[in-house]
Amino acid sequence: MNKTLIFSANTSWYLFNFRRNTIKTFLNEGYKVYCLSPYDDYAVPLQDIGCIHLPLKINNKSFNPFSDIKLFIDILIIYIKVKPIAVFQFTIKNNIYGTYASYILRIPSINNISGLGTAFIHHGLKYKIARVLYKFSLRLSTRVFCQNKDDYYFILKNKLINQERLGLLPGSGVDLERFKRRNSHIRNLNDSFVFIYAGRFLYDKGLGELVNSFEKIDQKIHKSSLWLIGFQDSKNISSIQKSVIDEWALKPNISILESTNEMHTVLDKADCFVLPSYREGMPRSILEACAMQLPIICTNVPGCKEIVTDKLNGLLCKPKDSDSLFQAMSSMLRMTQSERIEMGIEGRKRVEKNYSEDIVIKKAQEALKKVLDKSN
């Protein structure tokens, strides 16, 4: 009996960091799992957990018709050779062209929309083309999961897929045992207050506004630091140039840290997590920070506002607004330690109740069973 699955995304980093335990679950159930993604530093770790990695070249910066036709053909050829019984697809181009390929070959496709992405927050011809391609591919999908209600209702309102084929997930879920507070909440008043951002270095994540806002803080009144941890996604159209990142590293009290597989240990040293993104799906970075009992500052946009309730487990600010972000950071600094601790506790409760990784894994298992039962 064929028990071959493909997990497809635009980076191996994504599959390893966000889908590792889901993949492990299927491996433990006897499935053969191929990971289809560009070769990066996480391709080998994926193979170490038992996957077979298949390299895929993707240009995330543009919708060039020639390179995208080649991408579609590459995916189609791989699907023909591997003959999976189902494919799990993540990120915009993998969703679009993977769905076209799987539809032609009559392979069930389970797509995960982690936010409708750059194509839906920018204007211009290429973004209009991207939206058309995405909308058409949704209609051909066997099963689609959204990670926030805005995307869910957008798809239903525009009748892009029948409701019975559409589901809602709590993001990619959080490993609650790994991400839990180990250090004491009590901090010495002479210590620097640490704001932390973790993720890709993209302008769409609001990093320009974050650096500008942090520089406005009066260090004589509030001794604070800003840690930016992650990597430059040079293939993304919103990527921040290395020269800009290098300039930030030279600014007082700002530290640029490399991404790590031990993110929980870094979060354990921070005081507040900040994500001033323009739009999200269901940001795992916020979920992990909440699990670590950190108060959150984020923008009042889809994806973020589902997790953070203003003044309960964090503070919401306006997107693309440095002044609003500065006010939120200032408010966080003026809070008492006990007030911030209460916010962190509320965040942990929310993640425990609604965003456990176990929920996401179970949904993936149920979705696979359902599409296979229907195809047999």
Convert the pLDDT of each residue in 232-251 to its tens digit. Answer: 776 677 889 999 999 999 99
113 and 137 within one domain? yes
168 and 37 within one domain? yes
Distance CA(288)–CA(267), nearest Å, equals 9
Distance CA(209)–CA(319), nearest Å, equals 9
85 belongs to a structural domain? yes
240 and 127 within one domain? no
Quote the pLDDT of residue 154: 82
Quote the pLDDT of residue 20: 93
132 and 55 within one domain? yes
154 and 54 within one domain? yes
The CATH number that applies at residue 105 is 3.40.50.2000
361 and 324 within one domain? no
333 and 201 within one domain? yes
Sheet with 109-113: strands ordered across: 52-55, 32-37, 4-8, 86-90, 109-113, 143-146, 166-168
82 belongs to a structural domain? yes
Quote the pLDDT of residue 61: 65
Token couple for 245: 């990142």
State the distance between the two ends of the chain, measured CA to CA, in whole angstroms: 13
The residue range of the domain holding 319 is 193-354
Distance CA(267)–CA(286), nearest Å, equals 11
Q: How many CA atoms lie within 13 Å of 203's alpha carbon, on the beta-carbon side?
A: 13
Split into its structural domains, the chain has a count of 2
Quote the pLDDT of residue 213: 97
- What count of other Cβ atoms lies within 10 Å of the Cβ of residue 282? 27
Per-residue confidence in pLDDT tens, the chain, 376 aa: 789 999 999 999 899 988 999 999 999 999 999 999 999 889 999 999 999 999 999 887 666 778 889 999 999 999 999 999 999 999 889 999 999 999 999 999 999 987 665 555 556 666 666 677 777 888 899 999 988 788 888 888 878 888 899 998 887 889 999 999 887 666 666 789 999 999 999 999 999 999 999 999 999 999 999 999 998 776 677 889 999 999 999 999 999 998 888 899 999 999 999 999 998 878 889 999 999 999 999 999 988 999 999 999 999 999 999 999 999 999 999 999 999 999 999 999 999 999 999 999 999 999 999 988 877 6
150 belongs to a structural domain? yes
Quote the pLDDT of residue 338: 93
The DSSP bridge pattern shows strands 166-168 and 143-146 to be parallel
187 belongs to a structural domain? no
Burial 144-178 (b: 16+ CB within 10 A, else e): bbbbbebbbebbeeeebbeeeebbebbbbbbebee
118 and 51 within one domain? yes
181 belongs to a structural domain? no
13 belongs to a structural domain? yes
Distance CA(333)–CA(321), nearest Å, equals 19
370 and 339 within one domain? no
Distance CA(354)–CA(352), nearest Å, equals 6
Quote the pLDDT of residue 112: 92
Helix, strand or coil for residue 283? coil
Supply the DSSP string of 180-204, one letter for each residue. Answer: ---S-S---TTSPEEEEEEEE-BGG
Quote the pLDDT of residue 6: 98
276 and 216 within one domain? yes
Distance CA(131)–CA(147), nearest Å, equals 18
158 belongs to a structural domain? yes
188 belongs to a structural domain? no
Quote the pLDDT of residue 368: 95
224 and 350 within one domain? yes
Q: At a CB cut-off of 8 Å and minimum separation 6, what does 139 contact? A: 160, 161
Distance CA(276)–CA(367), nearest Å, equals 33
Distance CA(91)–CA(298), nearest Å, equals 22
Strands (E), 91-140: 109-113
169 and 21 within one domain? yes
